[in-house]
Amino acid sequence: MRMEIYNDPKLIPGAAQLITQTAMDRGLAENKAGALEVFLKGFILQRMQKADPRFPELVLEVPEAADASNQLCVMITDKWKPYYLKEADRQTIREEIQADHVDFEELLYQGQRLSLIYKISAEDIPSDGPVYEKDVLLDKDFTCRQTLNDEEDILKAWYCIYSHYGFNYLHQDLYRMDYFKEIMANGRYVAAVAENKSGQVMGFGALDGHPWFPGLMEMGGLVVNPIARGLGLGDALDDYRIEIGKGLGIRGLFSTPIMPNPASQKLLTRHGYIATGMYFHAGGPASLGGSGDGIHPMDCGFCVYIYDKDLEHVIYVPEECKEFIKDTYDEVGLKYLMADGKADADPTTDKKAPEATGDRPEKTTVFYNHEVTQDLLEVKFNEIGQDFRDCVEALPLNSGFNGKNIDAILLFLNMNDPLCQECYEYCRERGFIFTGCVPGGDMDLLIVQYLKYTIDRDYIQAEPNYAEIIDRLYEINGDDMRK
C-alpha cells in the first residue's frame, strides 16, 4: 500500500488511521497499531514543519511482507529539509518503542527514508493549514571557515545546499553522510562554509580533487542560501578557497561555470580565473542543479587559476590549434615549449617522434566516466598508444554507453604525449571538434568533443571572455561546429 500526503496537517489523521488499519489487517497487535498511529501523526507533522514548497508531498508505503510473518514495515519518504539519524539515535528509538529495527536511508535525488518495523511513537500535535519552517537571517556578520568532519557541521552544510537545490544538487553523493566524511578525511575534498555569529551557515563551496587533472583541484559547488544573497558571500568563499588551495601543494585550480548563469562566470573572472575552453552539452535539457530549461542542453565553460607558473610545459599541439593554445598559455602566464611529435626529430628538444625512436606504446591508456544524469560520457587518453584509432572507433559515437543514452562525448587528449597531434587529427576526421584545453597541471590536456545535437549559439549566455573563445572555436572548427 502506497499513498502520497501533501503538506496539509489536516490530512495526517486519516493517513495515520489508514496505515494503522493496514497494520492490523496484517496481524499487528492492537496496542502496537495504536502506538504506530500516534507516532505517525507526530512524525509526519514534524516533517511537514521541515517541508519545502518545491517538493509538496511525503510518501507513506507499507510493502507486502516477504513471508507470512506479522512483521510490519512502514516507510516514510520525503524530499524535505535533510535530517540524519546516527546509530545511537536509531538505538534510542528502538529501545523507546521496543521495535525490531529502525532504519534510515539517504536516497540522494529521491530524498530520505525512515523505515519502521513494528511500532514507533511521538507526540500527537494537531494543526491546521500548511506549515513551513522558514529560514530567518539572524545577523549579517559572516566569516569563512573549513567544514568540520562531523555530523553536526556536515548537516549545516546540507541545509545550505538544500536551501537552493533541494535534493537536485549535482554532486548527489554529498547527501550521504559516510561518503561526505570519507572524502573529507582522505583530503580529496575540502569543504568551506560562510557562517555568521549566530552560527547559521549561509554559504557553501569546496575544492574537489579530480584524478583526471593531476596537480589541479576543482573549485565548485558554490551555494548561497537565497535569504543571504547580495551580502558578498560568493566572493568571500572564492577568496577563501583560493587561499586554502595555496597551502595544499597543488599547481592550481579549475572551475566549470555554467553558461545559463552569467553571474558565476563574472565571479570567477573577477577572482583571476582565465577562460581556456568550453564543455558544450555538458548536461541534458533537464539536467540537475537547477540549470536546465528542459529544452536546450546545458553548456559550461572551463577556466583555471594557476599558482605554479615556473614549470616549463612541453606540449605537442595540432597545427590548427596552435594560435589558440599559444594565446591561452600566454594569458595564464605559463612557460611552454611547443614540440612536434610528427617530425623525425624535434630540433628544439631531445624528444623524437615515435616513428623515429620506436618508443610508441602498444596500448592506449583509456579512462571512462559516464555522467548518467547528464547524458555525458567523459573519456581520457592518458597515454596514447599504437591502437589509438581503435580506441576512437570504440567510442559510442552514435549509440548509448552501457545501455544508457549519450548526447555528448568529452575526450581529453594528453598534450604532453608526442602522439597527441596524430590522435587529434584522427578524432577530427571522425567528427570531433576542438573545444579548448586544460593547462597548468601535472598533465596538459587538449579537449575535443563529439556532439549528437547542434550547438545553439543564440542560447548560450556567455560573458565576453567566453564569447571570444566560442567565436574562435567556430573559426577553428569551421562547418563542423554547425553540424
pTM of the model: 0.76
The pLDDT tens digits for 134-176 are 789 999 999 999 999 999 999 999 999 999 888 888 788 899 9
CA distance readout (Å), 466 to 169, 274, 315, 448? 25, 10, 23, 17
Q: Tell me, what's the pLDDT at 292? A: 57
Measured distance CA(477)–CA(320) in Å, rounded: 9
Q: Tell me, what's the pLDDT at 56? A: 80
Strands (E), 317-461: 335-339, 365-371, 376-383, 408-414, 433-438, 445-451
**Domains defined along the chain, listed by start:** 2-117 (3.30.565.10), 142-250 (3.40.630.30), 312-482 (no CATH)
Q: Tell me, what's the pLDDT at 254? A: 96
Decide: 62 and 1 in contact? Cβ < 8 Å.
Answer: yes
Q: Tell me, what's the pLDDT at 129? A: 54
Measured distance CA(15)–CA(13) in Å, rounded: 6
Give the H or E element holding residue 315.
strand 312-316
If you search the block for the grid coordinates 570504440, which residue do you land on? 394
The pLDDT tens digits for 93-144 are 777 777 788 898 988 888 999 888 765 333 333 345 555 667 899 999 999 9
Decide: 301 and 462 in contact? Cβ < 8 Å.
Answer: yes
Q: Tell me, what's the pLDDT at 357? A: 42
If you search the block for the grid coordinates 624535434, which residue do you land on? 346
C-alpha dihedral sign at 422, 425, 426, 432:
positive
Strands (E), 384-453: 408-414, 433-438, 445-451
Ranges in the chain, pLDDT < 70: 27-28, 65-71, 118-133, 284-294, 342-359, 371-374, 400-404, 482-483
Q: Tell me, what's the pLDDT at 5? A: 85
The pLDDT tens digits for 185-215 are 998 999 999 999 999 999 999 999 988 899 9
Burial pattern 395-414, b for ≥16 Cβ within 10 A else e, equals bbeeeebeeeebbbbbbbbb
The closest alpha carbon to 186, from 163, 211, 204, belongs to: 211
SS3 167: coil
